[in-house]
């Protein structure tokens, strides 16, 4: 596994474009993994914009794993709302099926869900993977888990990146994230200790399965 430190998004975008050009596959699928608060969504968004700007065309799109959170109503029924964010709070089967479809199909629109931090629920059909999208960036916590059905994903991606970020940075970002909708600092810390911290330990165990370990200059 290659380890890259102090690299910028522009350089990463150029690397992805070159790999895509050399790929024999119809689409180039990049998986971005990291602990909660590591900056996966931010990196994925900036990488997509840089690739599209560099090529002067809409060739890249981001598909987030978070769109496959179970709706809060379902989590309440399952008694899992307080544990939202753990692997069992995602519709993993549907997510894996979608990634396989994106990798194998071209020529028709594929509708994907996103996740809203305003309503704290998935938003169906809000992202469209179209024929012109050749570089698909998929970001999420559990892309490299070895338990079914997650373990089917690793072989679908052309490359996977594990994003490195310090515990301090991740914690600060998570506190801000949890407090934004109105939680107190105490409630935010409780959420981190009950869910985010155990998740981070689980995700860290999947790091050896990534193609590259990457530390970004700034996000």
In this prediction, residue 34 has a pLDDT band, given cuts at 50, 70 and 90, of very high
* Measured distance between the N- and C-terminal CA atoms of the chain, rounded to whole angstroms: 23
Instruction: Decide if pLDDT at 1 tops 90.
Output: no
Beta strands in the chain (DSSP E): 2-7, 28-33, 60-64, 110-116, 121-129, 135-139, 159-163, 212-216
Instruction: Decide if pLDDT at 167 tops 80.
Output: yes
State residue 113's pLDDT score.
98
For 37-58, the pLDDT digits (tens) are 999 999 999 999 999 999 999 9
Percent of the chain with pLDDT over 90: 74
Q: For 20-33, what is the mean pLDDT?
A: 92
Please give the DSSP secondary-structure letter assigned to residue 86: B
SS3 17: helix
Query: How many C-beta atoms lie closer than 10 Å to residue 136's C-beta?
Result: 24
Domains and CATH numbers, the chain: 2-216 (3.40.50.300)
State residue 151's pLDDT score.
97
Greater confidence, 217 or 123? Answer: 123
State residue 218's pLDDT score.
65
For 177-205, the pLDDT digits (tens) are 888 877 888 888 888 898 889 999 999 99
State residue 43's pLDDT score.
95
Q: Which of 179, 198, 180 is nearest to 189 (CA)?
A: 179
Predicted TM-score (pTM) of this structure: 0.93
Q: Which of 137, 144, 115 is nearest to 16 (CA)?
A: 137
- Region label for 159, one of left (φ > 0), alpha (ψ between -120 and 50) or beta (otherwise): beta
């Amino acid at each position: 596994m290659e380890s890259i430190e102090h690299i910028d998004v522009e350089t990463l975008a150029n690397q992805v474009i070159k790999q895509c050009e050399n790929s024999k596959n119809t689409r180039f699928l990049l998986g971005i993994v990291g602990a909660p608060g590591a900056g996966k969504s931010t990196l994925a968004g900036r990488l997509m914009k840089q690739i599209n700007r560099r090529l002067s065309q809409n060739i890249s799109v981001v598909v987030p794993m978070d769109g496959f959170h179970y709706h809060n109503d379902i989590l309440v029924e399952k008694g899992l709302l307080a544990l939202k964010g753990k692997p069992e709070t995602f519709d993993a089967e549907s997510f894996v099926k979608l990634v396989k479809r994106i990798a194998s199909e071209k020529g028709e629109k594929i509708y994907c869900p996103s996740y809203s931090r305003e309503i704290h629920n998935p938003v169906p059909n809000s992202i469209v993977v179209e024929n012109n999208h050749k570089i698909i960036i998929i970001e999420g916590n559990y892309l490299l888990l070895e338990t079914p059905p997650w373990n089917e994903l690793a072989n679908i991606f052309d490359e996977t990146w594990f994003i490195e970020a310090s515990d301090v940075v991740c914690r600060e970002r998570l506190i801000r994230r949890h407090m934004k909708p109105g939680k107190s600092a105490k409630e935010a810390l409780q959420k981190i200790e009950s869910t985010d911290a155990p998740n981070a330990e689980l995700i860290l165990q999947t790091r050896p399965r990534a193609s590259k370990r990457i530390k970004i200059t700034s996000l």
